């Protein structure tokens, strides 16, 4: 199969998996609003979704939780939508009926929260690295040591940071601007990750 066609199918497959896991994660946040308490904007925010529908409902749920709602009922959510002027997108994305069906679907899947959370964070990281390194990020044929499907987000991050370090160390001349920018991007990603870990080790225990 042509390389471009292989990459195309890999991209479609990745997007389908992303959509499903984002959908379930947002549903779990809505069904169990306390997750918003333990997973604040430093841990997960709109930049991790990359999808207008799930970005919207995730952010709307955040606003609802800030109003100290313990359950997201139709009347309370409609009030928050009106208060923040979100009627246009609320109607466009199916209103409460749409999200309530998802809440019903995930009501017995609270134990799967961590898996969906990690998957969304992983896909967000892949999207960030793909902006830097292109389609190689979702191509498992280039290096037998690399398989983004089997690796977790920490392994993926370590792999690409190692690649950038190798490039810099192997360059006798001063680091080019592009390499410098890539390094700075990786450093920022690492800093964000480290910041998110400060409280993360306590979150799952606290929720359980």
- String of DSSP letters for 116-169: HHHHHHHHHHHHHHHHHHGGGGG-TTS-TT--TTTS-HHHHHHHHHHHHHHHHH
- What is residue 99's predicted lDDT score, i.e. its pLDDT? 96
DSSP string over 59-73 = HHHHHHHHTT-SS--
* Residue 198: how many other CB atoms lie within 10 Å: 10
pLDDT digits (tens, 9 = 90+) for 59-116: 999 999 999 999 999 999 999 999 999 999 999 999 999 999 999 999 999 999 999 9
- What is residue 170's predicted lDDT score, i.e. its pLDDT? 62
Domains of the chain with bracketed CATH: 3-207 (1.10.860.10)
Candidates 29, 96, 103, 99; CA nearest to 66 is: 29
Q: Which tokens go with 94?
A: 């199916």
Question: CB-side exposure of 196: number of CA atoms within 13 Å?
Answer: 17
pLDDT digits (tens, 9 = 90+) for 120-168: 999 888 888 888 888 888 888 788 889 988 999 999 989 988 887 776 6
pLDDT digits (tens, 9 = 90+) for 157-199: 899 888 877 766 666 545 455 555 566 666 666 566 555 554 4
Q: Are 112 and 24 in contact (CB under 8 A)?
A: yes
């Amino acid at each position: 199969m042509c390389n471009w066609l292989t990459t195309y199918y890999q991209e479609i497959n990745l997007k389908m998996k992303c959509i499903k896991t984002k959908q379930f994660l947002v549903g779990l946040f809505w069904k169990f609003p306390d997750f918003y308490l333990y997973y604040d904007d430093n841990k997960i925010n709109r930049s991790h979704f990359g999808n207008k529908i799930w970005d919207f409902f995730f952010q709307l749920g955040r606003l609802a939780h800030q109003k100290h709602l313990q359950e997201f009922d139709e009347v309370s959510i409609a009030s928050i939508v009106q208060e923040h002027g979100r009627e246009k997108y609320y109607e466009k994305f199916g209103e409460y009926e749409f999200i309530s069906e998802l809440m019903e679907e995930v009501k017995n899947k609270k134990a799967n929260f961590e898996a969906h959370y990690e998957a969304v964070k992983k896909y967000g990281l892949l999207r960030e690295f793909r902006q830097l390194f292109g389609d190689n990020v979702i191509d498992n044929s280039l290096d037998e040591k690399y398989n983004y499907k089997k690796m977790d987000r920490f392994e993926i991050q370590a792999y690409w940071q190692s690649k950038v370090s190798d490039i810099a160390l192997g360059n006798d001349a001063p680091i080019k601007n592009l390499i410098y920018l890539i390094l700075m991007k990786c450093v920022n990603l690492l800093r964000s990750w480290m910041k998110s870990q400060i409280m993360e080790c306590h979150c799952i225990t606290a929720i359980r």
